[in-house]
Amino acid sequence: MTRRPRKAIIIGAGIAGPVAAILLKRAGIDAAIYEGWSYSTGIGGGLQIAPNGMHVLAEIGLASELIRSGEVADAFDFYSQNGARLGSIHRNMKARFGQPAVNMRRATLNEALVDKAWSSCVEVHFEKRLARIEDRADRPIVATFTDGSTAEGDFLIGADGVHSVVRQHVNPDGPRPFDTGLVGIGGFVPRSLLENAGIGPLIEATFGQSGFFGYGFCSPDPAQGAMWWSTQPSHGIDAATFRAMGDQRLKQHLRDFHQGWRDPIPRIIDAAENIVVTDTLDVATLPTWSRGRTLLIGDAAHATSPHAGQGASLALEDAMRLSLLMREDEELQTTFERFEAERRPRAERIVAIARRNGSTKREFSPTGAWIRDRMLTLLLPLTSRGMDFMYAYNPCEPTSRPRTSTRRDPLAA
Ligand SMILES: Cc1cc2nc3c(=O)[nH]c(=O)nc-3n(C[C@H](O)[C@H](O)[C@H](O)COP(=O)(O)OP(=O)(O)OC[C@H]3O[C@@H](n4cnc5c(N)ncnc54)[C@H](O)[C@@H]3O)c2cc1C
């Protein structure tokens, strides 16, 4: 195993990939990114980066830009579908955790990260879909892409998301993504729609007897500055089938599903265009995050269903922590083991919270929904305190890192 690796192959130009490349470059390690899709702009819906993720964006010099092109969310307010207020959480994030929670378009984040990678002299190769990895002793590690081309490096980082091919190399018989039975449907509407409804700089989220609807400002753009999303039971229909319905039929489906829900939900649905549909996937705990000279980070290592709003922030944290460990110039295998030992307990705790939150968005009986709403009213303040550990963590600060591996079932290199 190379003692001082100089060149990283990074698979995936989503969130973890570009940030890892930028930070490795700073640590004196060359990184080239290989992304399966062609370069494109304006893709995807909205998301929120929590204070723990914003620390990393600040570290790479993007926090102010993304705050300007996004929208700080001062709270998360919950309602029932008939308009009863259930509670408010995540107030004063900036004061409490040193960075705010920021709503933004996924495309804005992704484009800023790729631009930053380019300006950091990171090579970013598009239309390079990983097919397989060859890791033979005394030779560089080789990634082969579906077009037959190859790339060589001293190690390989799998930042290729929930459908990771690198994960299959690391855990050939390991778990595969599974559908959680919920589908996410969302997009953007004009800011004026929320402004006219008197919505402040926060996220409002509504629980129904079945499903969930959220919205909030996400950019200064008057035409598309408000994001919205509906999470609902998929009843076995996959995202591709929903997508094939087209905007008009999807809007009718949403109108029927959210009929009678509190304002401004019906108006948001009426104004929706270019609707984005996503499966809500999860992956069971992996036996190991690394094998030989390959390491998984982000969703490839610990896919997080979206219900804790933390998947992107965890991906940012991973990139930061890995780069700090790489600076210590230990054997690659030691670095990978230390990375996993440090990151796994936190990631798995948050994945478990996301699973639990997802269960509140399923189908309830009228009595079940009433009980859930009463429970939420009582428990939200406690739940909020129980989630503070997610935001209070600053991954850019050096910490004492555990040295013991937490691997479940180490695979031979
Ligand atoms: C509907 C929805 C809403 C969400 N909302 C939030 C939120 O508000 N806040 C939050 O923190 N998180 C949210 N998440 C989760 C968050 O999006 C993910 O956790 C995050 O994107 C993970 O980042 P990543 O870099 O690991 O993977 P990704 O962002 O998925 O990037 C992986 C990249 O790898 C590429 N790739 C895949 N396979 C290959 C291959 N074989 N070869 C080359 N390239 C490949 C992909 O094209 C992609 O560009 C949400 C997720 C969903 C589905």
Ligand 1 within 6 A of CB of 282: no
Ligand 1 within 6 A of CB of 34: yes
- Of the pLDDT bands very low, low, confident and very high (cuts 50, 70, 90), residue 408 is very low
Distance (Å, whole) CA 167 – CA 242: 28
Ligand 1 atom with the shortest distance to the CA of 280: 53
Query: Which residues contact residue 114 at a Cβ distance below 8 angstroms, ignoring those fewer than 6 apart?
Result: 13, 18, 39, 124
Ligand 1 atom with the shortest distance to the CA of 276: 1
Q: Whose CA is nearest to atom 31 of ligand 1?
A: 14
CA 210 to ligand 1 centroid distance, Å:
26
Ligand 1 atom with the shortest distance to the CA of 312: 11
Tokens standing for residue 36 = 């399966």
Ligand 1 within 6 A of CB of 12: yes
Dump pLDDT digits (tens) for 294-353. Answer: 999 999 999 988 888 999 999 999 999 999 999 998 999 999 999 999 999 999 999 999
198: left (phi over 0), alpha (psi -120 to 50) or beta: left
Ligand 1 atom with the shortest distance to the CA of 304: 19
Ligand 1 within 6 A of CB of 94: no
Query: Which residues contact residue 51 at a Cβ distance below 8 angstroms, ignoring those fewer than 6 apart?
Result: 93, 94, 97, 98, 99, 100, 101, 391, 392
Dump pLDDT digits (tens) for 161-198. Answer: 999 999 999 999 999 999 989 999 999 999 999 999 99
Q: Whose CA is nearest to atom 48 of ligand 1?
A: 14
CA 77 to ligand 1 centroid distance, Å:
26
Contact between 76 and 88 (Cβ < 8 Å): yes
Q: Whose CA is nearest to atom 20 of ligand 1?
A: 312
- Of the pLDDT bands very low, low, confident and very high (cuts 50, 70, 90), residue 2 is very low
Dump pLDDT digits (tens) for 354-379. Answer: 888 877 777 889 999 999 899 989 98
Ligand 1 pocket, mutate which of 19, 33, 35 (most atoms under 8 A from CB): 35
pTM score, whole prediction: 0.94
Ligand 1 within 6 A of CB of 178: no
CA 299 to ligand 1 centroid distance, Å:
7
Ligand 1 pocket, mutate which of 9, 169, 299 (most atoms under 8 A from CB): 299
What is the β-pairing status of strands 76-80 and 203-207? Answer: parallel
- Of the pLDDT bands very low, low, confident and very high (cuts 50, 70, 90), residue 3 is low
